[in-house]
Chains A and B, each alone.
Chain A
Amino acid sequence: MAEIMYWEALQRAHDEEMARDPLVICMGEDIGVAGGTYKATKGLYEKYGPLRVIDTPISENSYTGLGIGASFLGVRPIIELMSVNFAWLAMDQMFNSAAKVRYMSGGQLTAPCVFRSAGGAAHQLGAQHSARMEKVFMGIAGLRVVTPSNPRQAYGLLKSAVRSDDPVYINEHELMYNMKGDVPDGEYFHPLEGSEVTRSGTDVTLFGYNISVHWNLKAAEILDKQYGISAEVVDLYSLSPLDREGIRKSVSKTHRAVVVGEEEAPVGVCAEVISIINEECFFELDAAPVRVNSALVPQPYNHTLEKAAIPNAEDVVAAVLKLFGRG
């Protein structure tokens, strides 16, 4: 085990997969000579050259389509969309081509592509650079969606995504690239499906994914120390498919659920998780499940407004206390 940063974990996964298989390539804006906006492809251009580490023009939909087309012939592209906000432009190809081609060709073709992008609100990046779009991706049949909350997952999920024959979208977070964490020294493939119990508890389950796992861990600490409430923290690193069984198991144990996501509430990941709770274990519940989300506003630039728009650990604590009638 070595403690490395999230971006280093991604870089290592790229490097290992490219070293192993000459058909693994990576492409995106400023990923080559410049080494990548968040350094996930640092040093790869020097090592593998311009045929395999492709600096693309700012043509998101078309370079994504180009990568998908190459994947039809067995190339395994890792396509970086610099920010999830720009992925909107590539969604036509991701959804209409990559996600559907296996089905509509009756299994003749497949698009084993990996799409990665940074999402989430960072520091005052404003309305057009702060989107949380995992909800959009997870509604598309034929596309896997995973979202690593730490360097180990970032490394292992990318490795598995490259090997998978399905298209996989990896949702990263602008604020997490410098986060440190332990990553196994040997090769490690993180499961593309499932969930992880990050902290075990008995009174309430805090569901989260990506950055909200960290708010939940902090909230669980506060709940334990200050209120004597034992919270279980579940990390839903796979958003599509969601881990129904993992969700059922935890709620059957704690009988209460708070679902936390940085997204805005409507049509969201959290809404989906609560539907699953209702479908799987409604009669196990001691209280109606609730969600903690961002305000439904275009992300404001001003930092006071920005903070007001995004939830945090204190909001999670407040939601839990309310659930226990202690708000």
Chain B
Amino acid sequence: MKLEDKKRVLREMVVHRRFEERCYQAYIERKIGGFLHLYPGQEACCNGVMEAARPGYDYVITGYRDHVHAIKCGSDPREVMAELYGKETGSSKGRGGSMHIFDVKHRFMGGYALVGGPFPLAAGIAKGIQMKGGDEIAICFLGDAANNQGTFHETMNMAALYKLPVLFVCENNLYGIGTAIERSTAVVHQHKRVCGYDMEAAETDGQDIEKVYEAAKTAINHVRSGKGPYFLELLTYRYRGHSMSDSRGYRSREEEEMWKQRDPIFILRDRLIAEKAMTMADYEAMEKEVDNYIENEVIKFAEESPEPKAEELEKYVFADRESQMPWITGKAA
């Protein structure tokens, strides 16, 4: 990665981290409701892959742990936060919530709550790309435990069979809610699972953004050049519980500490400091600046935005009726 990119991404990752930590606080203050799944610990996965891709051009789809992926694709953090607050200005107009951030103008095709649901959708998006003849690719970010759904195998088969331009990124954080991977899955290393479909695959350290970037570059070259799908496994860890109701009784504090020693933000920061590209003081100033931004722009925007109106409960259930009249009445001109 180029130096200026690394510096930019470091700040982005700090935004992502602070955004999520601020969500935690807002949830406790009951500003955010529903289920909330946070991303701290895994930042290098999304950032590393998307640095090698073309954010806003390539299509991205994921599960419920979706805020950072949307922001990385180009979503305005203010709109993502407004969505979490259930506001009309939110990316899904307050109708979706944390698990359903959508921002199609940035080709962020959404967060979905059903584990395994996005696999075939990603392949379908890739099929759309294939039909239209563009050079975009589809990128599907999901967890490790999702690979135990039937949709995983069914989709891998079709993606390979039809040579679809889709990159599957498995963020293997070693747990599905409170169940450790070795207790739910016969193989811990997920990339091995696609060899049955003759799919190209690799595994790398998901905490070091440069390693993720390099692996993703190879993967994306493969996919974009028309050679078919690719499966990239990133070994990572989420610091917080699965969602807000999780007290992490299923894993040890020592294990958590061990992973925190390999924090994706600190790895990059320390490297930049070692390369004399920045000082600790620079980093701390940047953190402050980010905190101010989150508080004074992102949170403020969400707080001050209007609620959806109760009269508009049924808006967005169907397409605008007027526009559909020829088909609804059968009286097409």
Contact = CB atoms under 8 A, between A and B. Distances in A.
Secondary structure call for the A interface: loop
A302 interface: yes
A88 B83 CA distance: 27
Interface string B110-151: 001111100000000000000000000000000001101110
A305 B97 CA distance: 12
Given A29-B179, A30-B177, A305-B308, A297 B313 contact: yes
A59 B86 contact: no
Given A296-B317, A301-B94, A128 B99 contact: yes
Contacts of B149: 58-60, 89
Contact of A128 (B100, B116, B150, B307): B100
Contacts of B178: 30, 33-34
A174 to B, nearest CB: 11
B177 A302 contact: no
Contacts, number: 120
Contacts of A125: 34-35, 97
A65 to B, nearest CB: 10
Contacts of A295: 313-314
A86 B95 CA distance: 20
A184 interface: no
Interface string A34-46: 1000000000000
Contacts of A301: 33-34, 83, 86, 92, 94-98, 100
B114 A86 contact: yes
B250 interface: yes
A129 B243 CA distance: 14
Contact of A33 (B95, B100, B179, B310): B179
A128 B112 contact: yes
B184 interface: yes
Interface in A13-32: 29-30
A85 B86 contact: no
Given A29-B179, A85-B114, A300-B313, 9 more contacts: A30-B178, A57-B185, A58-B145, A86-B115, A126-B35, A296-B314, A297-B313, A301-B92, A308-B310
| 10 closest cross-chain pairs (CB), A and B | A301-B97, A124-B33, A57-B148, A34-B178, A302-B86, A128-B113, A124-B34, A302-B94, A126-B97, A57-B184
25 contacts: A30-B177, A30-B178, A30-B179, A33-B250, A57-B145, A57-B184, A58-B149, A59-B150, A86-B115, A126-B113, A127-B95, A127-B100, A128-B99, A128-B114, A129-B34, A129-B35, A295-B314, A297-B317, A300-B95, A300-B308, A301-B33, A302-B86, A302-B95, A302-B97, A305-B308
Interface of A: 29-30, 33-34, 55-62, 85-86, 88-89, 123-129, 295-298, 300-305, 308-309
